[in-house]
Structure 1
């Protein structure tokens, strides 16, 4: 019986009808079980249907339950009418297993969520495609199916995009109250059908090449991300290979830091592995990647022209909003102005500069003014950043004008829904096919709904994140469809920018809290600024900063990349590595002085020795700093030139206030007086206060002696005076003549004797 069934199936398959095979395997690890049975598509062709072709759908139905599945029937369903609104595409993709009569709310459509049930989008059964699986599908088992049917046999009434579904009916063994034809699984997708020529969309494919620039100031890669990405099968290699297959359908955009890094790798490079710096082993792959990119760019260039086709972003895709907010606008200017010259030298061909891809799809007015003043003329944004007031399908894409303080710049608006599909998560091939069909559906609906008299039918698609990793199966098929599908054709970004501006009225949305929250964190940016200030101080003392200032400045720009929004740990590691490298360079200019310097007075000279271990001459200043500062008086000494590998000794005049030993820091200075480096610590003491103290003691001792002598003499005199007074008293028997009595000057009997001068005669003898 089984042999006969297999033979019948084989014959039917050869005749181009409907085929089925039955096997028992474990279900795919990431199968999306929306019901008891998960439908997995392995093939849905052709990508662009033709009237004389046939639809081919191959896949598997997987029993995800612990019960066997009996009476399994597989068949196709189609919507009876084309999808005419883009919200219907969301509805089809989000429909639950069972759909009845509940319509989704506008909020559910906007948020891409579904109610418990709503009308079945694929409401028409294609009976000719029905397959009966005679054998039960065991628990966790699966059955393969293949359906082929000419397009002329499908109920496709008119051109447009149809909902297409693979429906699985059956019954679970042992389940009570379940009919034999109960719906057990459903996968809904889309079928674009444009048998007649239509006015096509003009598809502008943005094809960015960027990576996480984890390369320090010495050019050492801190991880293997970039080397792995440019290796065979790597992310960047796949992007170049896919774009090269349709070189004139894509618009190449690259980060100059990536081009520079790969060029460095091709000449030999070093990488950090296990904490050790080792020689990298992907130099040949780097050379091959650059060669492949160059060939793709040459193929993209129109014949007989030498016009550049590669657009370059600011160096390292700098997070301009975060850097500007951190007070470092000159870094943004440097990133913009250096990108084109650097890329031209790296690739040995001219490139187009002045393009900025705004992270998060939005830009604040201050940053727009800044990048425009630096030379940016094209800013790539999400279509939601400047939405049109006229809300017809396709209005939020194409080209617009963005006003800045230095004049208008071109705004290239990525179509939000289609761009998001390019990087939608894909767990398996079935997901990739479903995403591909959803993209075709979006473009088909736009082609049918954009007014014929619209100023532009351009649709810009590009990933939300320029470090994208799309499915090669998906994007390769879509690029081919852009060329072969009747409702699409490619358009270059240059041609789009040359078109007249679409006169749609637009509103510029606020930057928004979410956009600001997505920036590099403030704390991280402050660390970047401190390192940048240290670099500025260091390079200012170098007589020839070439080879240091440029390499460290470029490394800091890499640390300011928007790439670290998604890899903050790697970004912090890069910044720490750069800061450590810079500190090691600064430490090669140092002060060797130490110990204690003693002045014989309150002032003197402090000998300082400065060493320069760098390979170039430096000019520094030096200053003495004390705490408290009031105890030290000293003027800084500037213009000290130290040749490479040499030492220079200088003396600094200083005056110390106070007798205690004073801790002093010897600080190196830049020419403008900014401190840099660690400096050195010495102690300064003065003997002047010790001598002064000794004289104070001596003077005090002499004063004390004088006071003692005076005191003793006074005591003696007082004692003598007291004795004389006692001997002149009349009652004193020792004085019978009363010679000690007081003399009355009015006594007429008193004799007068001149005792002052014996030569003077008495008064009566004159």
Structure 2
């Protein structure tokens, strides 16, 4: 409902200077009803200098084709008092291919004050066309708006034309602007300002939380080059931290940033070390997000029984980066390098020395840091969880609480209340086992985010005018009743630290606003609300389910490894990075990144395999079949080899356990026994971890069994021996037989008679007769 606080005391508006009367305004309102649905407020991309009255032109391509948009915002964020002129900027963006002829700018004031949040939101974003209000003034344009360009004009409405007096209650007021040409309305926009009549105010306590996160990464640690870019003077991390440091803003930090800098030791970019030092000296409240800002609700809705966390960083530490450097004294004059103090709760060296080297962050003595030291920080609180906004289910809350997250930051979409016109405190009781919720004030937060991310002054003023109006409505809802709200900046990156700081400073300058700490917001009186469960998109939950299932497989596979943490810890960090909230706005890129991770982890699970292909001939009743195992990992693995034949022709003994060295292959001998007959057999070779987890798919090796070849070979050999010796005996028999038949050819030495040669003395040797 839109109603003035004191409707009877609202004076009639005076006649506008242009001479138009109310019947003309009513007719124009009727014309607007036909075209209002197609128009909306739009921020401009430039603004004239303060006090300028002429148009300022700036070229832009941000407006969609074939559209004309107009926006209005007060020049000053200060409340308007009685007797003061209302000065506004009107921004016209021409997204068409044709110039817009000079027309008439008409400014309207909403008929009644915006006394509720719903009235304010309906005014700024109406669902259907409606009357823009009472005409305050009209002003003719002096120049056309060229195609694909923007015109910004400053329009002043005299106090008498505004028509508000001290008799009107303070609060948010609506203004509307139209662009007409020969009676045809080309575009309409709406805005707000705050009217104040010196009433007693009850400031609204607002706690602001800023997440500091890095752009999406597919790796568990932010690379050195990326850190150098992110922490450069214009980097995303620098813009975030510089915009909120030492301001009344609670910082929600992604621990991955801290670890990624610390783990680089002496090789960390100087800009990153300076950034971490600045964070350590900040006076802000600081609490940690989940590692890599992994979406808490996505994990639980993907089937995780508990939230996953980093297990170790040892696999990524280079000990040489943490050795104490040798000081090199500079000749003239000595340069002083101050060691940034470690923000870890573990004592770290802090000294000033005249050397050309800087002591890297790490434990005393130059030893490499432990996982606990890398993660340690002097946090204000560690029991706050911040899942993806608007996607928390009731079943998620007990799981959050089980890991110590007793307070959950929730979107306004996750709760409902019976009285929608009264804004409750941010703290809500969620019921037994669900802990406490801190409900974000969505309209206020959205306006703050729009302001912090705006790239032009007029767009920033339009958003900040809404911020002031939102708080004014809350303050005036129940005068004298203090409310504590929570506003959050989103997981994005402002265009500049100056814009973010400008937004927070402008918020702090509102007299109906009071800064509150996050601790105070948590301690505020809780409100009974109805929790509205929400879920992640089905495709997003399914991809996360696949990631978590694959991690379970990797952990089971790691029982075969000599150093399992080197694999499981790195994979855990990758999974956490892929579950980061920063991927939520990029579903296509996230799908590709998850697919790449699943392919890489699948290769990991197949890194130990059977390379023997076959076929293999088995020619005996008992033989050892060689099976070659390959290990492509950088560490040794121990596996259990199980061989199962496809039929009964072969019998296989018990499983064989074998250790394969890193980046090598090993052949194991599987004893088999031929059982019945010859034929084909397929051996199914399956690898298991010592704990019994299957490694990859079984390998099939074809075998040709010829079990009777062993006996046949023995027979043939025996026959050959018999034939050989038999032939020798038969040959001797034949020779002896020939010798008996022909004695003259005998060669037996025992039967040989010596024959002497004839000589003259032969007669002498003969006996006498």
- TM-score bracket relative to the smaller structure: 0.5 to 0.7
TM alignment of 1:173-572, pairs within 5 A: 178=183, 186-194=188-196, 195-216=198-219, 230-244=231-245, 247-261=246-260, 283-295=269-281, 298-300=282-284, 309-330=285-306, 332-334=307-309, 345=374, 349-350=378-379, 352-395=381-424, 398-403=426-431, 407-423=433-449, 429-450=457-478, 452-453=480-481, 457-463=483-489, 466-467=491-492, 475-502=500-527, 504=528, 506-511=529-534, 515-517=535-537, 520-522=540-542, 524-572=543-591
Q: Does 1:88 align with 2:119?
A: yes
Is residue 146 of structure 1 aligned with residue 146 of structure 2? no
Deviations 1:680-734 (A, max 9, x none): 5543333325679999xxxxxxxxxxxxxxxxxxxxxxxxxxxxxxxxxxxxxxx
Relative CO higher for 1 or 2, CA cutoff 8 Å, sep ≥ 6? 2
Q: Deviations over 1:605-626 (max 9, x none)?
A: 3334445565544322111144
Q: Does 1:165 align with 2:151?
A: no
Cα offset, 1:580, TM superposition: 4.6
C-alpha contact 2:171 2:195 (8 A) present in aligned 1: yes
**Residue 120 of structure 2 is aligned to residue 120 of structure 1:** no
For 2:211 and 2:470, the matched residues in 1 are separated by 22
Larger-gyration structure (1/2):
1
Contact 2:207 2:516 in 1 (8 A): yes
Cα deviation for residue 202 of structure 1 reads: 0.9
How far apart are 1:483 and its partner, in Å? 2.2
- 1:720-731 matched pairs, under 5 angstroms: none
Once the two structures are TM-superposed, the CA of residue 312 in structure 1 deviates from its matched residue by 1.2
Displacement of 1:287 in angstroms is 3.9
Structure 2 CA distance, aligned partners of 1:259 and 1:152? 58
SS where residue 676 of structure 1 aligns? Answer: strand
Structure 1 residue runs without a partner (length 5+): 1-15, 95-111, 173-177, 270-282, 301-308, 696-766
Give the equivalent residue in structure 1 for 2:765.
Answer: none
Q: C-alpha separation between the residues in 2 aligned to 1:377 and 1:138?
A: 56
> Does structure 1 retain, via aligned residues, the 8 Å contact 2:621–2:710?
no
* 1:637 aligned residue: 655
CA distance in 2, matches of 1:17, 1:368: 51
Aligned residue for 1:661, secondary structure, equals strand
Separation in 1 of the partners of 2:145 and 2:387? 52
* TM-superposition CA deviations, 1:30-78 (whole Å, max 9, x none): 4599997x545687114456789875434555688968756x6656543
Give the superposition deviation at 1:678: 6.2
Q: 1:326, 1:68 → 2: CA distance?
A: 53
Mean Cα deviation higher: 160-169 or 532-541: 160-169
SS of corresponding position for 1:667? strand
Counterpart Cα distance in 2 of 1:366 and 1:564: 23
Alpha-carbon offset, residue 575 of structure 1: 3.4
In the other structure, the counterpart of 1:672 is 691
CA displacement, residues 92-139 of structure 1 (integer Å, 9 cap, x when unaligned)? 324xxxxxxxxxxxxxxxxx4123xx3333x262x6xx6566x56476
1:218/1:644 Cα in 2 relative to 1: closer, same or farther (>3 Å)? farther
SS in 2 for 1:114: coil
CA contact (8 A) 2:178 2:188 kept: yes
Q: Deviations over 1:263-308 (max 9, x none)?
A: 5678769xxxxxxxxxxxxx4554454344334xx232xxxxxxxx
From the superposition, tell whether residues 594 and 49 of structure 1 become closer, same or farther in structure 2 (CA, over 3 Å). Answer: same
CA RMSD of aligned residues (A): 4.4
Partner Cα separation in structure 1 for residue 614 and residue 579 of structure 2: 43
Q: What's the TM-score once normalised by structure 2's chain length?
A: 0.67
SS of 1:113's partner is coil
8 Å contact kept, 2:632–2:662? yes
> In structure 2, what is the Cα distance between the partners aligned to 1:226 and 1:255?
14
Pick closer, same or farther for the CA change 1:342–1:478 going to 2, 3 Å.
farther
Contact 1:537 1:676 in 2 (8 A): no
Question: What's the TM-score once normalised by structure 1's chain length?
Answer: 0.67
CA contact (8 A) 2:84 2:159 kept: yes
Instruction: Measure, in 1, the Cα distance between the counterparts of 2:304 and 2:704.
Output: 44
Deviates more, 1:203-212 or 1:76-85: 76-85
User: CA separation of 1:312/1:388 partners in 2, compared to 1, >3 Å: closer, same or farther?
Assistant: same
CA–CA distance in 1 between the matches of 2:223 and 2:60?
Answer: 41
Question: C-alpha distance in 2, partners of 1:169/1:213?
Answer: 42
Partner of 1:107: none
Q: In 1, are the aligned partners of 2:455 and 2:495 still within 8 Å (CA)?
A: no
Distance 2:639 2:576 in 1: 27
Say whether the 8 Å CA contact 1:211–1:226 is kept in structure 2: no
Superposition deviation, residue 398 in structure 1: 0.4
Instruction: Please say which of residues 607-616 and 666-675 is displaced more in the overlay.
Output: 607-616
